[in-house]
Every structure is written in structure tokens, then in C-alpha cells.
Chain A
Amino acid sequence: MKRTIIEVRDLKKVFHVGEITVHALKGINLEIKEGEFVAIMGTSGSGKSTMLNVLGCLDKPTSGSYHLDGISMGELSKNELAGLRNSKLGFVFQSYNLLSRTSALENVELPLFYNSKVRPKERRERAEAALEAVGLTDRMHHMPNQLSGGQQQRVAIARSLVNDPVVILADEATGNLDTRTSYEIMALLQDLNSKGKTIVFVTHEPDIAKFMTRQVVFRDGHIIREEYVTERNNAIELLKSLPVEELV
């Protein structure tokens, strides 16, 4: 029996925008086990971003329960949530969100700065190991503007890995990338997943969702479809089938 990483029960989220009340999530039940690679899909306004914010402990649900790695987030204070994000979660964003004029290595070190238990020497070693895991050992001291989009996203993935989180939350992580680079990123994520990392990946692209083990589709605040992917794509094989572009 695998460990349950995410357990959501009857989760509701209501926003009040002026006099209008928006029911963004209307009673979500979701369970994600260790080692899963889950796609959260849906059109804009379906509630998937709200769901990701709640899963990422950035936002609190209006009602319902959410357990992350066995910890109920309902009773936690703002600071305890920050601590949870620091120790249990890794974020990958669509626009990378790297600090400009800051080397790849220092960008990756960032989450560990907020963990007072990690000494400077260990911080450096862990950041180097994370960059090695995403294949950027030779780019450690480059600034973000000296890196391609794909490389920047790899740095962001290394940053999400550095604190050894129980789950990586990716928000449209391939949204800004071309097909080949997207597949390269997916290959990296599949590789991490095969080594046991749990990943939740928000996307609206069905072909990207095919790289994952399970798809959860949102519409109007409900989960309308939930299924395991039967014909899962392998990113490395797909990369081989792409027409070879000339390297400049």
C-alpha cells in the first residue's frame, strides 16, 4: 500500500468579488498517492488554478479538509503554511520565476535560505546536486538571461527539487515552450517520476497530459472526469520521432 500524499475531502472555495459570490470549487474529493504523476486539466475558469493554490498551501479552502503528507492544513497559521511549503512542496511556474541577475546555482539555493537548519555548505551541495539531476552541471554559474527557455525551466525544476519535497506542483510548466523543449521538460519530469517523485501538473493541453499516469478534469468547480492513462506517451521516444532541427 503506497503512502497517500494528498487527500482532499469535500473541499469548497468561495470568493467574494464585490457583491458577486463565486463558487470556484464545489466539493472536491481527490486522493493522490506517492509516485503518481497527475494531470489537472480544464479550461480557464474551471477551478484548476484555485485547486493548485489550495494544494500549494497558498490559499485556504472555505470548507472541507486537505491533508498534505498526513498533515491537516486547516488548523495551520500563515507561518506554519510557509514552513509546510518550504519543507513539503516544490513549485514550477509557467514563466519560470527565476531571480534575474542571479546565477542558476543561487536561484536553486533560494528555498534553502528559508530553512534555518541547512548550513551554507550543505545548501551549496544540495543545489549542485539538484542542478546535476536536471542536467545543468555546466550552467551553474550562468545568469537566467544567458540560458534558453528550456534551461531556465530546468533551473526552476532544480529549485523545486532542492528541498526534497513530497510533491512537485507544476503550473502550465510547458506553456511558454516550443514542442521540442516541452518534450524535453516532460522527459525530465517522467525521469524524476520514475525515480519516485510525486508530481501534480496543471495543463490544458491534452497531448501534454498524455505523459502522465492519471488525468483529473475540472469543469465549473467540479471534477467531471478522472481516469488513469492507458496509452501513456514516453517523452524520450517522442523526441526521437520529432524531425531533427538544424543546430545553429
Chain B
Amino acid sequence: MNKLTKLFITFISAITLMLSSMSSSFAKVDGEYIVLGAAISLTGKYSSNGVHTQNGYNLAVERINKMGGVEVQGKKYKFEIIYYDDESNPKRAAQLAERLINQDGVKYMLGPYSSGLTKAIAPVTEKYKIPMVEANGASRSLFTKGYKYLFAVLSPANQYLEVAIDLAVEKNGGKPVRIAQAFEQDAFSQDVRLGILDAAKRTGSEIIIDDKLPKELNDMAATLAKVKATKPDVLVVSGHTKGALTAIRQIAEMKVDVPMLAMTHCDAAKLSKQHGKKSEYALCASQWHKNLSYKDKFFGTGKKYDKDFKKEFGYAPPYQSAESSAALLVFKDAFERANSFDGDKVRDALKTTEMQTFYGNIKFGPGGQNTAKPMILFQVRCKGDTCENKVVAPTKWASDKFYHPIPKWSERS
């Protein structure tokens, strides 16, 4: 090693030391700030949804701080978030969680985007007993591991499309239906599949096609040809945005006629914008829709949230942003009820959360999942060339009638 390299290394270590000693003063509560930590995918393959998540967090922090902040033991505090970019990489996310906790002294965490990354971070927060409220990890396996410090404001993945099967049975006059399904081979989609299997069992329905799509796959022609040949009552597809876009493109191209098509990730894929009329009648699972009648005092209604979000960020909020904002409301509520900054007391308060937010009711089950909020289904409907998502199930919030069966391609203009 020559002198220059040595000098360089000394220099770098000196700076690192300096920075680490500086950041430890950041600690959990810094003056009037309650510091939360979050690893978010700002680059890499999840970066669009990572940004939606971050925007959701930021909007809520700004709103809560502006409206008086968090009151603990008679003193007002404000939220502040330390973000790191996890590069959409689970290993990096776990490292960053360690860093947030050990170096930055963060005592409360917000979740990253996606089930995979949440799975990577949860063991770390669990190890250090750091309460984490997450808004974007829906995989069922997150809630079966007995985690005590993990709380999710969203409905678990297996609930995504169960409603669709119930709806299909209902439309079939209460008789069992024949289901064709294609799911990507990843944690989330396979959880959605488990939900369908449960629903099929419950209703006595038969699964006639059960394809598992490899991650690399961007061609579903074979699956759809099978669907064409077997004529099921309902086709279920889940494979993130790629799956949704591929399915719609090829269903239209191959003129596959099914009475009902249910999917996930329609709004993330901007289905109605990218595919226009081809996507009409598709039924999509969603965590949230602006037309739902939930309310809270920070954001008002879903419609108001939609408007405020648009004003701030220039685009309509996908549900990923809405649920991320809700996570902050949950934290605020828990801090105030705990009336303390003690990690375990905050956790206990989180555990007994029971509240309504603009995003939905929130109450945590034993595994940390939100049990108080049902999934909703919307259907893509078009007028001329503009297509919109209309809530059709559950009936309590349905703004429009569910259109069934889907007209045949030969009858569609």
C-alpha cells in the first residue's frame, strides 16, 4: 500500500467517524422532532412505487406537523423522516435498517415498498425491538411469523381477489364456478393465489387452469390459448404491472372471451391509460379508492386527499400513496395514546389501535395485519376513449353496477 492510499483511507475513516458521531445525536426524539426511519426504493425496479410511497409519507408528515403535530406528555412534537435509498434490493434494505437503527439511532420505522423488501427489514426491526408501521408489504407470510413489532395498515395479499370469486359465484346464481388462473411465481402473487384456492374451496368451485408464470415471462399466449379452449367462468391474473399489461394486451389480440376477468395492479400499471378500451370490463383489486366514504380530521375524505395530493405532486394518488399516508396517522395516534417515547409502550399502543382514517378503518390482528378494512374491486369502464375505474364491490361502497358478463370481442366496437 503506498502512502497516498494510506492517507486516503485515514481520511475516509476520519470522516466516517465524524459523521457517525454526529448522527447519533439525531436519536429517536431530537428537540421537537420525532425521528422516523425509512428505507425506500428510489432507484431500481421498484422506484416508481417507491416514490409513490415516499410522497405519501411526506404529505402526511407535512399535514400532521401543520395541524399541531403529535402531543406527548403535554408537549407538541413534529415528525421527521430519515430516508435512505434501498435500490430495490432486499439485502441493501436490511443493511439500511441496521444503519438507521444503529447509527442514526432511529427508534421507530416506516415500511419500505413491496412485500419482498418488508420481509428483509422485518427481522431487523424485530431483533432491535423497533416498532415498524408498514404500508406496502401485503404478503401473508409477513403475518404468520409471529412478529411482534410489525404493523401493516393494508389488507393481506390473500384477500386481494377472494371477493372476485364470491362475486362470480353470486353472478352464477350461487352455483360453483370454473376458474382459470395465472399467477407469477413470487411471494405476493402466490399469496393471492392461496386466497383464490381458499375461496374456491369455500364455494365448491373448480380450478381448471392453474398456471404459474415464471418471473422472466412476458408472453402469456399459451395460458390464454388454454383459456380459450376451456371456456372458464372467470379468469384471474396476478403478476404485478407486467402481468396486468401483458394479459390485457394478449387477451385483446387473441380475442379471448371470458365472462369475468379479475386482476391485481391495474392502477399501478395505468391499465386504462396504456391500453384504453382494451382494458374495459377488467375487474381490479385495490386497497383503496378515493370514492370510499371513510374520513379523518387530517385529510378529510378520500376525494379531498386525492385533490390535495394532486396539488402537491401533480398526479392522482395511487393506493400505494394513500396507505403510506395512513401509516403516519397510525403512528401519531399510537404516540398520543402511549403518551411516551418508550418503544415497548408505543408498540403496545399500536397493538390496540382502532381508528378510522381516510384510507379505511385500521385495527391490527394478532399477526400485525389490518383486519378492519376489506379489499375493494373496481371495474374499468369507458366512455368514448376515456376510461375510468368504477367501484363495484363490496356493495356498501359500490358507485356503479358491476357489468357482467363481459361482452364478446366480436360484439365490442
Q: Is chain B found bound to chain A in the same assembly?
A: no
Residues of B in contact with A (beta carbons under 8 Å apart): none
